[in-house]
Chains A and B, each alone.
Chain A
């Protein structure tokens, strides 16, 4: 397996060996950069769009580098979920890599277990482990398994990989957390300072996963138990392994289906727009604290603070890398050396 340095050498043949040795590569090419500073449980958490854009770019590089190093993995759905991960872990989720088992932490459950390239990147970049570990993704004996293996010390709440199963786990967790923490109702119900007393559960799913019947058992039970501390993110990229979702097995209209099952629904027109994602999560902050957002959108249904919330994000599979965008072939395929070099080049060029 060629490392990044060798790759750059291969695809920049005009540089002689001596120059090559002395050349200082940009850190994002030669090494995974060091972890960003750790996040603690304090609120309000900052939202800085420019900073988060840069973080998203770093994450996309991690995704292609890790799958390239592994020789397998799932870049397409990882790239479509990138901004959701970035906003969630940097601006919404109350977590602390130094206290991975803290009982009041918000929980993140990965339902679409194959997008470990994105999941492991965000965990590394929020301090749970050294980003260098991403190069050992899917390798024998390493903790970064192809699909997640429960490992709380590294921030992995639960294993996954069998589609349809993990929303039910999230329902059980949200129910358990409500039972355990309801006795001390919170006072802060500001969007920026949500009720710290009841931890929330965030579940990352996709429209393809919603073809599993068990998902609807879980969706039905979440509203029955009034789990307003549960949020599902649907990475709606409209592609699955065998092709377009509408051709394989149509799941639309998801908003109406979630509403009919008793959920709040927030539809994101652009699931890559950091601010749009952040505004949706801020509404969930209020809802999970038992308070309806002050201003309701005219074209959107009322948001009810006793209901669980679905954030349906319209996304592009393979987003950010031209040859991967909206192409089902990149669901579960690793880039080769040349494709990696081009992907990194494109990501460096993109400033938006």
Chain B
């Protein structure tokens, strides 16, 4: 098993959420709503700076979402904050029927996504949000890879008229971008160019994909790495362009394989350019208590697993 070849600085994505909200708070129409988790989601920092623009609705996620909807009807731009598992799951029908059918201008910050809540166990590990958010018409779904991308995604979401769901994790994740790096919601970033295989990743898995690319390069395998931070709308053009060149695909996400980012990619290429593919993610099972690292290893979400799957797919190319 190869260990990561690059040592990267680690930084909280949720700090990107809080920093962006504080930047946006200069606009008095920006309001932030939380459901008794402001210390975890870090919206407490926004509250400290803009107390009149912060509302805690208590432990009531359904009410949280629709109060935000009502505020948006009076011209406010609400940013809704709580753990992704409760936000996307508990309040799914409110997001569907009130926010998405009416196309209300509400932004969702789904904190503690994926396996990053580790020891809390299965109830708190959000592994389904991409699937259940991307199937909603009018919704935009973004899974930024690091602190900077999270910050940029929040800032850009304020300029989109309509609902946006942004997923980020609890733990510090490797920094893969800089304040100057290009980031545009809806446009995938090709981080490494290659000819033999396309590795598409989102969220914290982008860093793992980059490590896998480096490991493959040592074996003279040239992998292209795409950071697919926006799951919806999907940048099909960038994906197809890459696959026309490499003719092989691996996707990797900290999410159920069923309905996730990999599924979205396969849906998009099915009629245009199907290629041999492997989807890496959580295989139709729930998580359990453990450190995030132990859980990522259990589900094969480390760079070594990605590299191994990539080699397997390359062999299927002929």
Contact = CB atoms under 8 A, between A and B. Distances in A.
A168 B62 contact: yes
B98 A169 contact: yes
Nearest to A169: B70
Tell me whether chain A's interface is mostly helix, strand or loop, or mixed. Answer: helix
A161 interface: yes
A165 B60 CA distance: 13
B236 interface: no
Given A169-B70, A179-B52, 19 more contacts: A159-B101, A164-B62, A165-B66, A168-B65, A168-B66, A168-B69, A168-B70, A171-B66, A171-B70, A172-B66, A172-B74, A175-B71, A176-B75, A179-B76, A214-B66, A218-B66, A218-B67, A221-B63, A221-B67
B58 interface: yes
B24 interface: no
B47 to A, nearest CB: 15
A104 to B, nearest CB: 11
B63 A214 contact: yes
Nearest to A214: B62
Nearest to B94: A165
Given A165-B98, A173-B74, A176-B75, A221 B69 contact: no
For chain B, give the interface size range. 20 to 34
A158 interface: yes
B55 interface: yes
A149 B97 CA distance: 11
Question: Do most interface residues of chain B lie in helix, strand or loop, or is the interface mixed?
Answer: helix
Given A161-B97, A168-B67, A221-B57, A176 B62 contact: no
A325 interface: no
A175 B101 CA distance: 22
A159 B94 CA distance: 12
Interface residues of A, number: 31
Interface in B39-78: 52, 55, 57-58, 60, 62-63, 65-76
A172 B67 contact: yes
A170 interface: yes
A176 B93 contact: no
Contacts, number: 98
A150 interface: yes
Interface of B: 52, 55, 57-58, 60, 62-63, 65-76, 93-94, 97-98, 101-102
A220 B67 CA distance: 12
Interface of A: 103, 107, 149-150, 157-159, 161-162, 164-166, 168-177, 179-180, 214, 217-218, 220-221, 224-225
A174 B66 CA distance: 12
Contact of A150 (B67, B94, B102): B102
A157 B73 CA distance: 9
Nearest to B91: A214
Nearest to A180: B74
A57 to B, nearest CB: 33
B63 A218 contact: yes
The 10 closest A-B pairs by CB, nearest first: A172-B70, A176-B74, A168-B66, A217-B63, A172-B67, A217-B60, A173-B70, A169-B70, A176-B71, A172-B71
